[in-house]
Structures are given as structure tokens and as C-alpha cells.
Amino acid sequence: MSRETKPVLLTGASGALGSMLAARLAEWGWDLVLTDIRPFPGALPARARFRQADLCDRAAIAELASGCGAILHFGGVSTERPFEEVLGPNISGLFHIFEAARLNEARVIFASSNHAIGFHERATPLDDDCELRPDTYYGLSKAYGELMGRLYWYKHGVENISIRIGSAFPKPTTRRMLSSWLSYDDLARMVAAGLRAGDVRCDIVWGASDNTRTFWRNDARERLGWAPEDSADGFAAILDTVVSQDPIEELYQGGHLCSRDYTRKRPPP
Ligand SMILES: NC(=O)c1ccc[n+]([C@@H]2O[C@H](COP(=O)([O-])OP(=O)(O)OC[C@H]3O[C@@H](n4cnc5c(N)ncnc54)[C@H](O)[C@@H]3O)[C@@H](O)[C@H]2O)c1
């Protein structure tokens, strides 16, 4: 059986993005193995099976990934939490995912985040190889995941794509999201393109729709066969004034997670 015809493992399947992806990918014909630490919300999509598991459980992840051709890694702590809470799911969990991918010669598509580079100023356009500047322990775990992708590509040939997701919600709700918004449809099409692509290395893709005010440019999208079709531009008139009163939040790409627990007296030179 070739990689393309094997089942796809989706972690975080009970979450906002995971459950959306489960429905769409099943509709587009993929056989899915779904997992999450929480029960699956609602009815299972056709040709999908679900098993509750903790990403910290290496044996359970290995068993779930057995025979899979790809792992869509969307599970784990998805916002800032104390370091001790991030450590297990987002650091050990990532190791379990990449080890399982190595053993099964599976491709990994990893839900990274703009919070891996959050401490770049909004006025600075970034390329995919920009300096990693995590804004939280959560963002640090995403930077670690991207680097783990490099380790497993150069050492073991594990193909992987890190999607540096901006703001993936049904609609943009703030001025920042006029730059960072990623529609559910664009995300689902990006994941599908990542599963189908012929030439995958350890690639980074900016997870944002076609927003005129984007912070980001230059990534692997063309080689992977993806281009966004949606845009936040149509929301500009209603969102342009939706800003916080926090200067740190408004200065940096990572927004409110940059100002969370911030103790610097003044911004760096
Ligand atoms: N939504 C966004 O805008 C956005 C932006 C950047 C990155 N991301 C990333 O995309 C992924 C999905 O995001 P989401 O918005 O759907 O978040 P979410 O919190 O809705 O989903 C995450 C899922 O992971 C599961 N999970 C947590 N700990 C686990 C553990 N120990 N073992 C197994 N499962 C565990 C949760 O139960 C949850 O269902 C996350 O990795 C998140 O960091 C999302």
C-alpha cells in the first residue's frame, strides 16, 4: 500500500480545528484515525474511527499511528499555560508523534503557530526562515516542533510541514486578524494539499488567508500546491477600530500572548 492510500492519523480531533478537519477530510475521501484526550464531539464522520488517548502515552500513540501514511498533529495545549502543563503534551507528545512517523515512514503535518515568532514587530514582513521568537511557553513548544521537524527530516528523512497558523477561526474579530486570519476552508485545502504534495521536505507554510495586510511572505506553498482563496479584507471596515489599549499587544505579531506575563521595563533596542 502506498503512503497516499494509507489511513491518516489526526490528533486533536475533538478540538475546534481537528473536528472541522475530520469532517472535511472524510468528505474528501480520506480514511481517518482520530484521537484526542477528550471524547469526539458528535457523530463520527464516515470511514473514521476514534480512540481516546493522551499524547503523553507513547505506546498509545505508536499503536494509533501503526499503518498510517500521514499524521496531522493538531492536538495538545493550544494557548499559554504554565510550563509544566505545556511540557507533557507539547514537548514529549511531539517526540511521540515524530517517532511514530519515523517508524511508519509517515508524513507529518504539524499545527505550528504564529506564537513561535510572536515577538517580531507587526511592521516587519517575515519570510519563513525568520528568527524564531516565541512569545510564550506555548509558542516555544511550537518552535520546538518546527525544529524537531528539521531533526527528523535531516536525520531520518521524515517528510514534514509546519503550518504557522495565524488566527484560524470562522471569522476575523480584531484588527490584528485582518493580517493573521486563516479561514477554515483555506486551512482544510492546505492540509489536503500537504497530504497530496509530491515533494515535501521540512517545510514551513504561513497559515493565513490572502490578506492584503499580511505580516508574512515567502514559504513553501507553491511547491506544495496551495494558495489561499479567502481573505479578511472584506472585514476591514468593521474591524479597523477593534484594537486593545495595550501597547505591547499592538506592537507585536503575537498580540495578546506577547503582553501576557510581560515584565520588561521597555521594549528591546
Ligand atoms: N485556532 C487557531 O487559531 C490556532 C492558531 C495557531 C495554532 N493553532 C494550533 O492548532 C491546533 C488546534 O487548535 P484548536 O484551535 O483546534 O485548539 P483546541 O484546543 O480546540 O484543540 C486542541 C485539542 O488537543 C487536545 N489535547 C490537549 N491535550 C491533549 C493531550 N495531552 N493528549 C491528547 N489530546 C490533547 C484537546 O482536548 C483539544 O481537543 C493546536 O495545536 C493549536 O496550537 C491553532
Strand-pairing partners, residue 86, are none
Helix (H, G, I), strand (E, B) or coil at 38: coil
Q: H helices of 110-203, where?
A: 137-156, 177-180, 184-196
CA of 107 to the centre of ligand 1 (A): 19
Q: Where does the pLDDT of residue 13 fall: very low under 50, low under 70, confident under 90, or very high at 90 and above?
A: very high
- What is the Cα–Cα distance from 86 to 140, expressed in whole angstroms? 10
- What is the Cα–Cα distance from 46 to 246, expressed in whole angstroms? 46
Predicted pLDDT of residue 143:
98
Assess contact for 220 and 164: CB atoms under 8 A. no
Cell numbers placing 121: 514587530
Q: Which of 20, 68, 33, 28 is nearest to 193 (CA)?
A: 28
Q: Please name the helix (run of DSSP H) or strand (run of DSSP E) that holds residue 34, with its range, or none.
A: strand 32-36
Atom 7 of ligand 1, nearest CA residue:
113
CB atoms inside a 10 Å sphere around CB 223: 14
Question: Residue 184 catalytic?
Answer: no
Cβ-Cβ contacts under 8 Å for 70 (sequence gap 6 or more)? 3, 6, 8, 9, 106, 107, 108, 109, 195
Measured from the Cα of 57, ligand 1's closest atom is 32
Q: Over the stretch 73-118, which tens digit does the pLDDT of each residue have?
A: 999 999 999 999 999 999 999 999 999 999 999 999 999 999 999 9
Q: Where does the pLDDT of residue 146 fall: very low under 50, low under 70, confident under 90, or very high at 90 and above?
A: very high
Q: Where does the pLDDT of residue 156 fall: very low under 50, low under 70, confident under 90, or very high at 90 and above?
A: very high
CB atoms inside a 10 Å sphere around CB 209: 23
Cβ-Cβ contacts under 8 Å for 154 (sequence gap 6 or more)? 202
Cβ of 18 closer than 6 Å to ligand 1, yes or no, is yes
Cβ of 141 closer than 6 Å to ligand 1, yes or no, is no
With 90 as the cut, is the pLDDT of residue 266 above it? no
Q: H helices of 28-168, where?
A: 58-65, 83-86, 93-104, 137-156
- Choose which residue among 78, 95, 110, 146 to substitute to test ligand 1 binding: the one with the highest number of ligand atoms within 8 A of its C-beta: 78
Predicted pLDDT of residue 232:
98
Predicted pLDDT of residue 157:
98
Strand-pairing partners, residue 204, are 162
* Stretch 128-151: mean pLDDT: 98
Cell numbers placing 235: 472585514
- Phi-psi map region of 247: left, alpha, beta (phi>0 left; psi -120 to 50 alpha): alpha
* Stretch 119-148: mean pLDDT: 98
Cβ of 167 closer than 6 Å to ligand 1, yes or no, is yes
With 90 as the cut, is the pLDDT of residue 269 above it? no
Q: Please name the helix (run of DSSP H) or strand (run of DSSP E) that holds residue 32, with its range, or none.
A: strand 32-36
Catalytic residue among 137, 138, 152, 252: 138
Cβ of 45 closer than 6 Å to ligand 1, yes or no, is no
